[in-house]
Amino acid sequence: MKTCAICGKTFDPAAPLDNPSEQAGLHMARELYDDADQLCPQCLANRGTLGMMYCTEFYG
């Protein structure tokens, strides 16, 4: 179990990410921010949703 660097929740980094927003957030975490193992699925999903809306260079 780890603690999320953004929201502070405890999460399992080995848990599968089923939501497309979570997967998009994971992609951004790996490619842009190098913090993929530090964020919970909810924060990854939030980042992914915003990325899909505003980062057209990745998802446009």
- In percent, the amount of the chain with pLDDT more than 70 equals 95
Per-residue pLDDT at 27: 94
Residue 55 backbone dihedrals phi, psi, to 5 degrees: -100, 75
Per-residue pLDDT at 56: 79
Per-residue pLDDT at 24: 94
3-state secondary structure of 3: strand
3-state secondary structure of 44: helix
Residue 60 has pLDDT above 80, yes or no: no
Q: What is the pTM of this model?
A: 0.90
User: Span 37-52, mean pLDDT?
Assistant: 96
Residue 59 has pLDDT above 70, yes or no: no
